[in-house]
């Protein structure tokens, strides 16, 4: 098993990309900490599926936009499993707020969800990984963080900051801890719920693959970065060729 006895915290793993990563990592032998903010039933369903597959997991409720709850997440993980080997910062959600109508409060809230949470979790992970001189941190950015997305500006700029955070931490935590990011393209998650067939076709026609990226494909990218010790400070784009067309 590739990740036998490794302990992985995956934020926002009650659904979507995080759920797929939790299931894949558990199958690879990792002990997975399933984190959720409000979707308790989803988190428990993931834990049940992992248990049924012979894996080990632990569910922790925590809003990772709150630094005190981040400390709770890591504290519970340490009490349960004794260490943290892998952190995948996945939680967050894009919200469409028109630029000229964005209030200071909204801006702060969006950055707390989509950037500050990453910073807080990386801090706590580093405190555990540095003494061991080993660890993997993966931050989920977005193609919006690379190209700019006008409809989700606050999310886009926050995830651009995630890319810079990744590059900076890779240097700060070298040589023993590898830090990378993954930039998903159009991935079939709840964000796209409610699209018409015509809207979906128009969106996917902007990619080279002409299809949705799957959450499992993103999870596979996470797994690659976790098992490779020579990739660090990089952003792996998984977008069906969308950015290649720009």
Is residue 54, in this structure, part of any structural domain at all? yes
Write down the pLDDT at residue 147: 96
Write down the pLDDT at residue 91: 97
Q: Provide the number of structural domains found in the chain.
A: 1
Q: ∠ CA 206-211-215 to the nearest 5 degrees?
A: 115
Write down the pLDDT at residue 192: 77
Q: How far is CA 70 from CA 57, 63, 111, 116, 213, in A?
A: 18, 7, 16, 11, 29
Report the alpha-carbon distance of residue 237 to residue 127 in Å, rounded.
28
Report residue 237 as tokens. Answer: 């784009």
Give tens-digit pLDDT for 154-179: 999 999 999 999 999 999 999 999 99
Write down the pLDDT at residue 33: 98
Write down the pLDDT at residue 11: 98
Write down the pLDDT at residue 8: 99
Is residue 97, in this structure, part of any structural domain at all? yes
Write down the pLDDT at residue 36: 98
109: containing domain: 7-241
In the chain, where do the E strands start and end?
Answer: 7-10, 31-36, 56-61, 86-89, 135-140, 177-184, 235-238
Report the alpha-carbon distance of residue 89 to residue 113 in Å, rounded.
11
Is residue 39, in this structure, part of any structural domain at all? yes
Residue linked to tokens 């409610």: 194
- Write down the pTM of the prediction: 0.96
Is residue 49, in this structure, part of any structural domain at all? yes
Task: Name which of 146, 122, 108, 158 is nearest 235 in CA terms.
Answer: 146
Q: Quick one: CA torsion of 186, 121, 156, 40, rounded to 10 degrees?
A: 50
> Per-10-residue mean pLDDT for the chain, 246 residues long?
96 97 98 98 98 98 98 98 98 92 96 98 98 98 95 96 98 98 91 84 96 97 98 98 95
Task: Name which of 101, 84, 95, 65 is nearest 9 in CA terms.
Answer: 84
**CATH (domain of 194):** 3.40.50.720
Is residue 1, in this structure, part of any structural domain at all? no
DSSP collapsed to 3 states, 195-207: CCHHHHHHHHCCC
Give tens-digit pLDDT for 119-146: 999 999 999 999 999 999 999 999 999 9
- Strands 86-89, 7-10: pairing is parallel
Percentage of the chain beyond pLDDT 70 is 100
Contact 13, 30 (CB under 8 A): no
Is residue 101, in this structure, part of any structural domain at all? yes
> In what side-by-side order are the strands of the sheet with 86-89?
56-61, 31-36, 7-10, 86-89, 135-140, 177-184, 235-238
Write down the pLDDT at residue 137: 99
Is residue 2, in this structure, part of any structural domain at all? no
Is residue 156, in this structure, part of any structural domain at all? yes
Write down the pLDDT at residue 194: 80
Cβ-proximal residues to 157 (8 Å cutoff; 6+ apart), any chain: 145
């Amino acid at each position: 098993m590739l990740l036998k006895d490794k302990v992985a915290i995956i934020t926002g793993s009650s659904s979507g990309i995080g759920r797929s990563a939790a299931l894949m990592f558990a199958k690879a032998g990792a002990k997975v900490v399933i984190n959720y903010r409000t979707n308790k039933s989803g988190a428990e369903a993931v834990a049940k599926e992992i248990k049924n597959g012979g894996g080990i997991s632990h569910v922790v409720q925590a809003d990772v936009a709150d630094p005190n709850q981040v400390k709770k997440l890591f504290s519970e993980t340490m009490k349960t499993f004794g260490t943290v080997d892998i952190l995948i910062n996945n939680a967050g959600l894009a919200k469409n707020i028109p630029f000229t109508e964005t209030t200071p409060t909204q801006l702060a809230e969006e950055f707390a969800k989509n950037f500050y949470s990453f910073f807080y979790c990386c801090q706590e992970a580093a405190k555990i990984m540095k003494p061991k001189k080993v660890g993997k941190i993966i931050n989920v950015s977005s193609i919006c963080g690379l190209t700019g997305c006008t409809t989700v500006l606050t999310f886009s700029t926050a995830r651009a900051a995630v890319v810079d955070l990744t590059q900076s931490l890779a240097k700060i935590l070298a040589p023993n801890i590898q830090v990378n990011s993954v930039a998903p393209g159009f991935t079939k998650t709840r964000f796209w719920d409610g699209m018409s067939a015509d809207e979906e076709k128009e969106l996917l026609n902007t990619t080279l693959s002409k299809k949705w990226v799957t959450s499992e494909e993103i999870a596979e990218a996470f797994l690659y970065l976790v098992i490779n010790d020579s990739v660090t400070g990089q952003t792996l784009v998984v977008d069906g060729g969308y950015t290649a067309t720009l």
